[in-house]
Structure 1
């Protein structure tokens, strides 16, 4: 396993929890950092992976993903997905603690949004809750032309709403709202807001796009829920 590691830096508990999670995976896989880097094709470096598990920094999400992929073993029945989900949650908590203001204590609830001002405020709150991803970072996380950094700046400064549902989805996903069920709630909030705020809705020419996008996301969320239930039942049958 190589030379003994320096103890995890526990100055920031959320960072330490992420580091503990990563170190536990490396120990379970029985790999050195050099071996992990080799398994990943040479990047990121062994030093980067070791620093990610130090507790002294919040690594990039890409590094966390690489770390998890490199330490995934055949013993993990469902592959890396469960660990990727856990790692992302720990990473978001660590990033939130180190970036978000002290007064932000919970995620925004889109079901409480009733008008466009509230919808925009909720989007800005989600950006804070996800740990202030930079406009350039959010642009890179989205498809080409979906979320220009100039648009991100206007949304997080409260100057403008997303121009269409695709842009809203791109913004939310760049703020780590990625489950179809959660995105459906946000699109429902948008539709509800535009209908309630009559003055604003008169200026929105594409409100039918928002309605259609919400219905499509609702179908996707239901399909994923049904698939998950089916998979769990099949697993229960195999285990019986």
Structure 2
């Protein structure tokens, strides 16, 4: 196996271990998946010589999920996604990109757009096609993705911004809340942009809704921890 890029090798090791545990050939995996991706594609994904697409990693994990995995494929899907993103970041991102962008530092729309583009780089340069398919029909057209990552346009509304961020692997409500707060702050600061925005209040409403979701999730987590502590006691 190619180990010239450690991050790629770690992903390949993860995938190979799953296949060995499941005791499947690549051809058997392809049959489980209904014929696509091909056995050759799955084998290349575990070769360590390339970084496979997130979709291929997902298919690989689904095909190798066994009944012994109590919580189903979700933990492995999360781990595989993180390994794939890390490998992409190492092989695609410029050497000077050392950390994720901080939306709390955004003060205007130029900064907001720059931060979105930085997040796209940090997430390993997902292609416009990948981002469109991750977001669902009509939510994030690939032409719009190209305009955002080229610095030509901002998302047209909060839903499009959220779709872009999720496609760049910002998935936690608390993190999305910070990004929406940054958007509200940016549009308020940029008076010219604010006047051209049809309804700036929609950004404020989206931020408030995400804030409530983040708070509800945090409360639910705290409650669950308290319940576990009671049981342990």
Q: Cα distance, 1:34 vs. partner? A: 2.7
How far does the alpha carbon of each residue in 1:114-135 deviate from its partner, in whole angstroms, 9 at most, with x for none? Answer: 1111111101111111222222
* Residue 164 of structure 1: aligned partner: 157
Distance (whole Å) between structure 1 residues aligned to residue 163 and residue 145 of structure 2: 10
| Residue 145 of structure 1 pairs with residue 144 of structure 2 | no
3-state SS of paired residue (1:146) = coil
Runs of 5+ unmatched residues, structure 1: 1-7
User: Which one of the candidate residues 186, 201, 216 is aligned to 1:223?
Assistant: 216
Runs of 5+ unmatched residues, structure 2: none
* Residue 26 of structure 2: aligned partner: 33
| Residue 100 of structure 1 pairs with residue 93 of structure 2 | yes
Distance (whole Å) between structure 2 residues aligned to residue 226 and residue 161 of structure 1: 33
| Residue 22 of structure 1 pairs with residue 2 of structure 2 | no
* Residue 87 of structure 1: aligned partner: 80
Aligned length: 233
3-state SS of paired residue (2:12) = helix
3-state SS of paired residue (1:56) = coil
How far does the alpha carbon of each residue in 1:11-65 deviate from its partner, in whole angstroms, 9 at most, with x for none? Answer: 1111101001111122222323233223223322222212111101111111111
Distance 1:214 1:13, change over 3 A: same
* Residue 4 of structure 1: aligned partner: none
| Residue 127 of structure 1 pairs with residue 120 of structure 2 | yes
Q: Cα distance, 1:110 vs. partner? A: 0.8
How far does the alpha carbon of each residue in 1:122-159 deviate from its partner, in whole angstroms, 9 at most, with x for none? Answer: 01111111222222332233233222223222212222
Q: Cα distance, 1:190 vs. partner? A: 0.5
Distance (whole Å) between structure 2 residues aligned to residue 133 and residue 151 of structure 1: 14
How far does the alpha carbon of each residue in 1:141-195 deviate from its partner, in whole angstroms, 9 at most, with x for none? Answer: 3233222223222212222211110111111122222222221111111011112
TM-score computed with the length of structure 1 as normaliser = 0.87
| Residue 136 of structure 1 pairs with residue 122 of structure 2 | no
Distance (whole Å) between structure 2 residues aligned to residue 236 and residue 58 of structure 1: 42
| Residue 77 of structure 1 pairs with residue 70 of structure 2 | yes
Q: CA RMSD in A?
A: 2.2
User: Which one of the candidate residues 48, 51, 61 is aligned to 1:55?
Assistant: 48
Distance 1:226 1:114, change over 3 A: same
Distance (whole Å) between structure 1 residues aligned to residue 34 and residue 231 of structure 2: 36
Distance (whole Å) between structure 1 residues aligned to residue 85 and residue 169 of structure 2: 8
